[in-house]
């Protein structure tokens, strides 16, 4: 029989402050439970919710058909969401982009305030359209980022891009 440790300041009449340590119980006889194999612990009442959840999820082979159905539902729901996100990323007019970011433009320059923790990861791409260039801006951040496509003013071509002091500057001809 192992002993249980009780803090010396424990008192039955006043405030009790105790630290508990586990006591191992020896089992004898045929009614004794089988002890777990070495290295495998059975969760007890002191197990955390996370431990119990992991234990529950470890052996769910009987729920494979439920899991497959869940995957189908999630993919059915995700498809329209992905479509909406794709449409949201479509080409937008320059004025809308400038309004969104608080930017401005002159005849030959577009300035977009774009403070970023990863300026070396900024990507600007262009597509030469019949009526002018389309620009794609990718500004990754640790948890997401910015992805926008916008049109330059009609007939304008992107000739240069710079970033400094928290702003992206695009020059046009």
CATH number at residue 133: 2.60.40
* 98 belongs to a structural domain: yes
Band (pLDDT 50/70/90 cuts) for residue 15 is very low
**Top mean-pLDDT range of 3-12, 61-70, 156-165:** 156-165
Q: What is the dihedral of CA 71, 72, 77, 78, to 10 degrees?
A: 60
pTM greater than 0.85 (yes/no):
no
* 72 belongs to a structural domain: no
pLDDT, mean over the chain:
74
* 34 belongs to a structural domain: no
* 66 belongs to a structural domain: no
By percentage, how much of the chain surpasses pLDDT 70?
Answer: 66
158 with 149: CB under 8 angstroms? no
pLDDT at 16 over 60: no
**Token digits of residue 107:** 């005849």
Band (pLDDT 50/70/90 cuts) for residue 43 is low
* 61 belongs to a structural domain: no
* 63 belongs to a structural domain: no
pLDDT at 7 over 70: no
Q: Where are the alpha helices (DSSP H) in the chain?
A: 49-57, 64-88, 94-101
What pLDDT does 37 receive?
Answer: 46
* 147 belongs to a structural domain: yes
Closest C-alpha among 172, 161, 152, 16 to residue 94: 152
How far is the C-alpha of 110 from the C-alpha of 91, rounded, in Å?
A: 17
Q: Are strands 104-105 and 91-92 parallel, antiparallel or unpaired?
A: unpaired
Q: How many domains does the chain have?
A: 1
Mean pLDDT on 27-44: 50
Q: Of the given ranges (32-46, 80-94, 96-110), which has the lowest mean pLDDT?
A: 32-46
Domain interval for residue 152: 91-172
pLDDT per residue as tens digits for the range 111-169 = 999 877 677 788 888 888 888 888 888 888 766 777 888 999 999 999 999 888 888 88
Backbone angles phi, psi at 56, to 5 degrees: -65, -45
* 135 belongs to a structural domain: yes
**Token digits of residue 148:** 């926008």
């Amino acid at each position: 029989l192992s002993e249980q440790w009780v803090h010396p300041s424990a008192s039955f009449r006043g405030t009790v402050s105790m630290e508990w340590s586990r006591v191992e119980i020896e089992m004898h006889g045929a009614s004794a439970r089988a002890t777990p194999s070495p290295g495998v612990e059975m969760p007890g009442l002191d197990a955390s919710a996370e431990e119990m959840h992991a234990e529950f999820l470890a052996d769910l082979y009987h729920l494979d058909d439920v899991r497959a159905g869940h995957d189908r539902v999630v993919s059915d729901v995700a498809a329209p969401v992905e479509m909406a996100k794709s449409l949201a990323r479509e080409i937008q007019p320059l004025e809308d982009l400038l309004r969104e970011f608080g930017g401005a433009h002159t005849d030959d320059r577009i300035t977009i305030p774009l403070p970023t923790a990863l300026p070396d990861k900024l990507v600007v791409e262009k597509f030469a359209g019949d009526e002018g260039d389309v620009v794609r801006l990718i500004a990754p951040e640790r948890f997401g980022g910015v992805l926008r496509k916008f049109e330059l003013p009609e007939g304008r071509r992107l000739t240069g891009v710079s970033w400094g002091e928290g702003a992206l500057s695009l020059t046009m001809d």
